[in-house]
A = this chain, B = another copy of it.
Amino acid sequence: MTKTYIHGVGMTKFGNHSDKTLKSLLLDASREALEAAGRPKIDAVFVGNFLGGSMSNQEILGAIVANDLGLGYIPTAKVEGACASGGIALRQGILGVMSGEYDTVLVAGVEKMKHANTPDVTQAINAAMDTDSNEKHAGLTFPGFFGVLAHRYFHETDATKEHLAMVALKNRENALNNPLAQFQKATSIEEIMNARLITEPLGLFDCSPMTDGAAAVVISRKPSGIHVRASALVSGPTQMQDAAELLSIPAIGESGRRAYEKAGLGPEDIDVIEIHDCFSMTEIIAIEELGFFPRLEGWKAVAAGHTKPGGKKPVNTSGGLLSRGHPIGATGLSQIYQLVHQLNGTAPNQVKGARIALAQNLGGTGSYSAVHILERV
**Which B residue's beta carbon lies closest to that of A56?**
B131
Bound form: Cα–Cα A98–B99 in Å: 5
Bound form: Cα–Cα A53–B53 in Å: 7
B92, B233, B363: the one contacting A60 at CB < 8 Å is B363
Are the C-beta atoms of B235 and A67 separated by less than 8 Å?
yes
Bound form: Cα–Cα A53–B128 in Å: 9
Q: Provide 27 A-B residue pairs closer than 8 Å at the C-beta atoms, listed in order of the A residue.
A: A21-B131, A23-B130, A45-B235, A50-B53, A50-B59, A52-B127, A53-B127, A56-B131, A58-B127, A58-B131, A59-B80, A59-B127, A60-B81, A60-B82, A63-B82, A64-B238, A66-B235, A67-B236, A73-B250, A75-B234, A75-B235, A76-B81, A76-B233, A77-B368, A79-B79, A95-B95, A98-B101
Asked whether any CB of chain B lies closer than 8 Å to the CB of A113, the reply is no
Asked whether any CB of chain B lies closer than 8 Å to the CB of A144, the reply is no
- Which residues of A, 325-360, contact B by the 8 Å Cβ criterion? none
- Which residues of A, 236-257, contact B by the 8 Å Cβ criterion? 236-239, 242, 250-251, 254
Which residues on the B side are within 8 Å of A99 (C-beta)?
95-96, 98-99
- The A interface is mostly helix, strand or loop, or mixed, namely mixed
Are the C-beta atoms of A242 and B67 separated by less than 8 Å?
yes
Bound form: Cα–Cα A132–B254 in Å: 41
Q: A67-B367, A68-B238 are in contact. List 16 more A-B contacts (CB 8 A).
A: A1-B100, A23-B131, A53-B53, A56-B131, A58-B130, A59-B82, A60-B127, A63-B364, A73-B251, A76-B233, A76-B368, A77-B81, A77-B233, A78-B80, A98-B98, A98-B100
Asked whether any CB of chain B lies closer than 8 Å to the CB of A51, the reply is yes
Known: A52-B127, A75-B91, A98-B100. A60 touches B22 (CB 8 A): no
Asked whether any CB of chain B lies closer than 8 Å to the CB of A117, the reply is no
Interface residues of A (CB under 8 A from B): 1, 21-24, 45, 50-54, 56-60, 62-64, 66-68, 73-82, 88, 91-92, 95-96, 98-101, 123-124, 126-132, 232-239, 242, 250-251, 254, 363-364, 367-368
Which residues on the B side are within 8 Å of A123 (C-beta)?
57
Known: A77-B79, A99-B98. A63 touches B236 (CB 8 A): yes
Are the C-beta atoms of B128 and A60 separated by less than 8 Å?
yes
Bound form: Cα–Cα A58–B54 in Å: 10
Bound form: Cα–Cα A363–B64 in Å: 12
Are the C-beta atoms of A73 and B131 separated by less than 8 Å?
no
> Taking the nearest CB of chain B, how far is it from the CB of A217, in angstroms?
17
Which residues on the B side are within 8 Å of A239 (C-beta)?
67
Which residues on the B side are within 8 Å of A96 (C-beta)?
95, 99
> Taking the nearest CB of chain B, how far is it from the CB of A244, in angstroms?
12
Which residues on the B side are within 8 Å of A68 (C-beta)?
238
Which residues on the B side are within 8 Å of A236 (C-beta)?
63, 67, 73
Bound form: Cα–Cα A45–B368 in Å: 12
